[in-house]
């Protein structure tokens, strides 16, 4: 496909800073990502459609590898997972962090080495643990005291499994109360302040078939400052020193989780990855020197920061409604493919694509098609005043925690996922259909 690109001057200076790096302006108001027109994607694959820029994903994997050359970078599968995503992450040299037997088995059947996978979660099912042990997962992160005996029994007296302990370091960080996981008032991990982590570690060390390799923490999501990570790291290094002094065991790994914040709209803050890597390394070496500890290998688990900015959601406008002073623009998706605005109040920056408009801009609210007043995709955004049914809207930064959290609400069906790369588009995940719903519904 030949793409004719407009200069920024000719196309106007609309900010595309949160779009994939490959994004190009086209004549007549169009946009191309990965060398492919988004309007053509909509025509070919229908809408809603999620467009994933393979080059952007791979580039962000390499950025992490470059920033953390002496660390293990594990992609957090919960952000978005597919067979293609598994391949891209594997080929770029990252490990994988999974939270269920479903994520684990998809990854392994798609060719990912199980020894480079870490399994965690606050309530692992028997199926989760069975799959992890059967497939030979590299690490299991113990999240609560009851898991110790369960895992040891499943491994058996002659077996062996490497484990880590998820520690709650007492650090509050994250973009919303519902995604702050570093304090004692939430469901994850074992507390440092009440001694729960220390007690669990003692029990694990008493299980010969379990090898405790290190500590794990994840303090929250959408974190845009480095300081909370440094505070958490200092507290975990202190715990590692106490483990050595009490048990004579020197742990070799320290997993600082992910939660690296990204910008969803132009001008929003994002975590400075270079600063994070530099200051984590410095703090780790300083703390270990002071405690006379061997420096453990660092692990990190980015998910959103790898795939979020690589995704674009494309919707078609179904209706435009003027209610008093408000304008509602209803599209053919909504909270079934992106529940995040309803859950966390997340804000996006949708853009008209596929045609040019000379109309003045006005404030509108982009809503979904579902039977909920809270089905709002983007509140109070600026759109052309002549927007009408049939138009296309594209929403950037749509790669993470949208399709992975999608539902079957109203039996609308989950959208297709389309990969774009070097001028070509291919279907990764087909659209969910009525036949899919019918095939699961076996009652009468």
Q: Looking at the annotation, which residues are catalytic?
A: 371
| N-term to C-term CA, the chain | 49
Instruction: Quote the tokens at residue 58.
Output: 């791979």
Contact by Cβ (8 Å): 251, 236: no
Comparing CA positions, the residue from 278, 299, 185 lying closest to residue 236 is 299
Comparing CA positions, the residue from 25, 88, 32, 97 lying closest to residue 60 is 88
The C-alpha atoms of residue 442 and residue 409 are separated, in whole angstroms, by 19
Task: Give one DSSP letter per residue of 342-394, joined into a string.
Answer: HHH------EEESS---SPEEEEEEE-SSS-TT-EEEEEEEEETT--TT-EEE
Query: Helix crossing, 196-205 with 146-155: angle to 10°?
Result: 20
The C-alpha atoms of residue 64 and residue 4 are separated, in whole angstroms, by 32
Instruction: Quote the tokens at residue 88.
Output: 């891209």
Instruction: Quote the tokens at residue 358.
Output: 């000379």
Question: What values do phi and psi take at 269, rounded to 5?
Answer: -75, 155
Within a 10 A sphere around the Cβ of 326, how many other Cβ atoms?
11
Comparing CA positions, the residue from 230, 93, 207, 229 lying closest to residue 142 is 207
Contact by Cβ (8 Å): 171, 228: yes
Task: Give one DSSP letter per residue of 176-191, joined into a string.
Answer: SGGGB-SSTTSSSSEE
**Burial class of residue 270, CB neighbours in 10 A (0-12, 13-18, 19+):** middle
CA-CA-CA-CA torsion sign (292, 298, 304, 308): positive
* DSSP SS3 for 197: helix
């Amino acid at each position: 496909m030949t793409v004719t690109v407009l200069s920024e001057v000719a196309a106007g200076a609309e900010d595309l800073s949160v779009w994939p790096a490959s994004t190009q302006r086209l004549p007549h108001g169009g946009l191309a990502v990965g060398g492919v027109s988004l309007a053509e994607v909509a025509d070919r694959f229908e809408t809603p459609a999620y467009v994933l820029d393979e080059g952007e994903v791979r580039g962000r994997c390499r950025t992490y590898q470059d920033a953390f050359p002496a660390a293990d970078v594990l992609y957090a599968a919960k952000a978005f997972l597919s067979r293609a995503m598994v391949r891209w992450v594997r080929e770029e040299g990252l490990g994988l962090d999974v939270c269920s037997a479903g994520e684990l088995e998809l990854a392994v059947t798609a060719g990912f080495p199980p020894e480079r996978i870490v399994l965690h979660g606050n309530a692992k099912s028997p199926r989760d643990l069975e799959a992890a042990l059967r497939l030979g997962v590299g690490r299991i992160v113990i999240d609560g005291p009851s898991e110790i005996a369960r895992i040891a029994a499943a491994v058996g007296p002659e077996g062996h499994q490497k484990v880590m302990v998820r520690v709650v370091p007492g650090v509050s960080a994250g973009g919303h109360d519902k995604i702050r996981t570093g304090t004692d008032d939430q469901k994850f991990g074992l507390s440092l302040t009440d001694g729960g982590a220390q007690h669990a570690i003692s029990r694990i060390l008493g299980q010969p078939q379990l090898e405790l390799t290190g500590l794990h923490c994840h303090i929250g999501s959408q974190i845009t400052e480095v300081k909370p990570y440094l505070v958490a790291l200092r507290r975990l290094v202190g715990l590692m020193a106490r483990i050595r002094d009490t048990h004579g065991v020197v742990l070799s790994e320290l997993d600082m989780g992910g939660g690296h914040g990204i910008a969803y709209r132009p001008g929003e803050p994002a975590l400075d990855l270079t600063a994070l890597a530099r200051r984590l390394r410095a703090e780790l070496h300083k703390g270990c020197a002071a405690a006379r500890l061997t420096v453990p290998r660092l692990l990190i688990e980015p998910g959103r920061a790898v795939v979020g900015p690589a995704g674009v959601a494309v919707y078609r406008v179904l209706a435009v409604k003027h209610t008093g002073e408000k304008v509602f623009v209803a599209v053919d998706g909504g909270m079934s493919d992106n529940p995040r605005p309803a859950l966390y109040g997340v804000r996006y920056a949708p853009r008209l694509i596929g045609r040019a408009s000379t109309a003045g801009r006005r404030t509108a609210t982009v809503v979904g098609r579902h039977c909920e007043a809270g089905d709002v995709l983007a509140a109070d955004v600026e759109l052309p005043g002549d927007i009408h049914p049939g138009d296309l809207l594209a929403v950037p930064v749509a790669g993470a925690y949208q399709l992975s959290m999608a539902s079957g609400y109203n039996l609308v069906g989950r959208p297709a996922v389309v990969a774009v790369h070097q001028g070509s588009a291919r279907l990764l995940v087909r659209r969910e259909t009525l036949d899919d719903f019918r095939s699961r519904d076996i009652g009468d």
